[in-house]
Amino acid sequence: MGKVALVTGAGRKNGIGAAVARRLAQEGVDVVLSDICAAPAELPHGGNAAWAELTAVAAKVENMGVSSLALRVDVTQSAEVRKMIAATKKKFGRLDILVNNAGAIIGPSPVRYMAEEAWRRMMEINATGVFLCCQHALPLMIDGGNGGRIINMSSIAAVRPRIYMSAYAASKAAVIAMTQSLAQEVGEFGITANAILPGDVDTGMKQWGMKLEAMVTAQEYDEVLSALVDRIPAGRIGQPEDVAQLVAFLASESAEFITGQAINLTGGRELS
């Protein structure tokens, strides 16, 4: 029987989650894809996916010769996460790979002006969501007796925080700490847990952030992008497929001795 992966935040066709789902499908892995599918007014940031977009990503995965399951899930709600795991078990009977990719940037602001709700929502989505997905997925992974892989999406902001991004940086730092603690708990079951720290990746959320920066600094979007690329030794902005490649490696048998790591994926951005 083939392996089964669950990828959260997979609803944007040009996003990291969708790229991860496609890359795992290339390896013959069946994929459960979830996203909140909220309207922008409900979750005001640049990464929202619509239900039609999520199902389109699932269809593309199935066209690659594997099975998929698309689910509308708010990862901050324990009951919804529990149902997601139950649906995964019902359809596939197992779970081998968990990719906690769902995340958000809400209301970047100086701390003294930051809305309390923005802080709480980023902590709930970026940190609590990872915790809940791990907590509810682990029994299915452990009971399967086949080991497993947990890959949590942090950010370079966790170790190189920028101005006005304190809540986002704190939430992503929490992901690293939890991952490293979790790795020590689940090793006896043949499960690894690692965190990926992407840098600047060309997604809808990143484009939204650069447009916001351009507006605040009275620059053109292309000027902001050019200045960003100048700070990346690799000479380009990252692509979702760059992250997907690393996920595929960490999910493979070749990575069975890698656990508890926080792996930078930035094109060298943090060196500049």
In this predicted model, what pLDDT tens digit does every residue of 40-83 receive, in sequence order?
554 444 445 689 999 999 999 999 999 999 999 999 999 999 99
- Which has more confidence, 259 or 211? 259
Q: How confident is the model at residue 216 (pLDDT cuts 50, 70, 90)?
A: confident
* pLDDT tens digits, 124-166: 999 999 999 999 999 999 999 999 999 999 999 999 998 999 9
pLDDT value for 67: 98
Structural domain spans, the chain: 4-199+239-262
Pairing of strands 4-8, 30-35: parallel
Q: How confident is the model at residue 107 (pLDDT cuts 50, 70, 90)?
A: confident
58-239-125 Cα angle (round to 5): 65
d(CA 261, CA 7): 19
pTM of the model: 0.93
The catalytic residues are 168
Under DSSP, is residue 151 helix (H, G, I), strand (E, B) or coil?
A: strand
d(CA 131, CA 216): 34
CA 259, chain centre distance (Å): 18
**C-alpha distances in angstroms, 239 versus 6, 20, 45, 58, 79?**
21, 11, 20, 20, 33
**CB count in 10 Å sphere of residue 70:** 23
**What's the whole-number mean pLDDT along residues 180-195?**
98
Burial code (b: 16+ CB inside 10 Å, e: under 16) for 203-234 equals bbbbebbbebbbeeeeeeeeebbeebeeebee
Top CATH class of 4-199+239-262 equals alpha beta
